[in-house]
Structure 1
C-alpha cells in the first residue's frame, strides 16, 4: 500500500493542492464579496450624508436669504423713515422762516409807526427820540432769529440722520445675531 501511495502521491498532492487552491479561491471570493458589500454600504452612507449635507446647506442658505431680505426691508423702511423725518425738518424750517418773516414785518410796521409818531412829535415841537436803538434792536433780533433757525434746522436734520443710523446699526446687529443663532443650530 505504501507503494500505491508513492505512485499516487503526486495525484494526492495534486488533489490536496487543488483543494487548497480551491479553498483559497473560495476565501478570496468571499472576501471580495464582503468588500464589495462594504463598499456598496459605504457608498450608500456617503450618498445619504451628501444628501443630508445638501439639505442642511439649502436650509441654511434659505435662512440666511430670509435674514438678508428682512434686513434689506428694514434698511429700506429706515431710509423711508429718515426721508420723512428730513422732509418734516424741512417743513418745520419753512414754517419757522414764514413765522420769522411775519415777525420781521410786524417789527418793521412797529418801527414805521414809532418813527411816524416821533416825526409827529418833532413837528409839534417836542423832543425827538433817537431811532438808532430801535434799528439796532431790530437788526439784532433779525440776525438772532436767522441763526436760531439755521441751528434748529441743523439739529433737526442731525437728529433724523442719527436716529436713522442708530436704526440701521440695530437692524444689522439683529441680523448678525440671528445669523449666529442660525449657525449654532
Structure 2
C-alpha cells in the first residue's frame, strides 16, 4: 500500500524533488551572483583607488616638471638680462674709447700743427726745411690702429658676453634635464 501510494504520488514527489533541486540551483546561482557582484565592486574600488593614485602621481610629476621649467625660464631670463647688460657695458666702453680716441686725435692734430708751425719758423729762419710726411704718416697709422683696436675690443667684449650667456643657458638646461632624470628615477 505504501508502495502503491508512492507510485500514485510519484509525480508529486518528483515535482517536489525537482522543485527543491531547482530551488537549490537558484539559491546557488543567487549566492554566486552575489559573490560576483562583491568581487566586481571590490575590483571597481581597487581600480578607482589605483587611478586616483596614478592621477596624484602624474599631477605631482607634472608640478615638479613645471617648477623645473619655471626655474629654467627664470635662469634664462636672468642670463639674457645679464648678457644685455654686459653688451650695453661693452657698447658704453666702445663709446668711451671713441671719445678718448677723438680726444687723442685732436691732441695729435694740435701737436702736428704746433710742430709744423715750429718747423716752418725754423725754415723761415733758414735753419732746415720742414718735413711733415713722417709725422702725418705716424698720425694716420695711429688713427687707423686705434680705430681697429676699438672695433676688435668691442667685438671681443660682445662675443664674451654672448658666450657667457650661452654657457649659462646650457648649464641651466643641463641642470634641468638632470633634475628631471633624477625626478623620473624616483
TM-score, normalised to structure 2, is: 0.95
Structure-2 separation of matches of 1:184 and 1:138:
68
Could you give the per-residue CA deviations for residues 49-84 of structure 1, whole angstroms, max 9, x where no partner exists?
111111111111111111111111111111110111
Please, what is the CA RMSD of the aligned residues? 1.1
Tell me the CA shift for residue 147 of structure 1.
Answer: 0.8
5 Å matches for 1:127-146? 127-146=128-147
- Give structure 1 regions of 4+ aligned residues with deviation exceeding 6 angstroms: none
User: What is the aligned length?
Assistant: 185
Q: Is the 8 A contact 2:123 2:129 kept in 1?
A: yes
Whether 1:168 and 2:173 are equivalent positions in the alignment is no
Residue in 2 that maps onto 1:94 = 95
The range that moved more, 33-42 or 56-65, is 56-65
5 Å matches for 1:1-185? 1-185=2-186
Residue 117 of structure 1 aligns to a residue whose secondary structure is helix
Q: Is the 8 A contact 2:87 2:161 kept in 1?
A: yes
Q: Is the 8 A contact 2:94 2:154 kept in 1?
A: yes
Structure-2 separation of matches of 1:83 and 1:103:
30
Residue 9 of structure 2 aligns to a residue whose secondary structure is helix
The range that moved more, 41-50 or 3-12, is 3-12
Structure-2 separation of matches of 1:180 and 1:22:
63
Residue 74 of structure 2 aligns to a residue whose secondary structure is helix
Structure-2 separation of matches of 1:167 and 1:83:
13
Tell me the CA shift for residue 2 of structure 1.
Answer: 2.6
Q: Is the 8 A contact 2:120 2:130 kept in 1?
A: no
The range that moved more, 78-87 or 170-179, is 170-179
Tell me the CA shift for residue 129 of structure 1.
Answer: 3.1
Could you give the per-residue CA deviations for residues 122-146 of structure 1, whole angstroms, max 9, x where no partner exists?
0111111311111011001101110
Tell me the CA shift for residue 4 of structure 1.
Answer: 2.4
Residue 98 of structure 1 aligns to a residue whose secondary structure is helix
Could you give the per-residue CA deviations for residues 74-107 of structure 1, whole angstroms, max 9, x where no partner exists?
1111111011100110111111112211221221
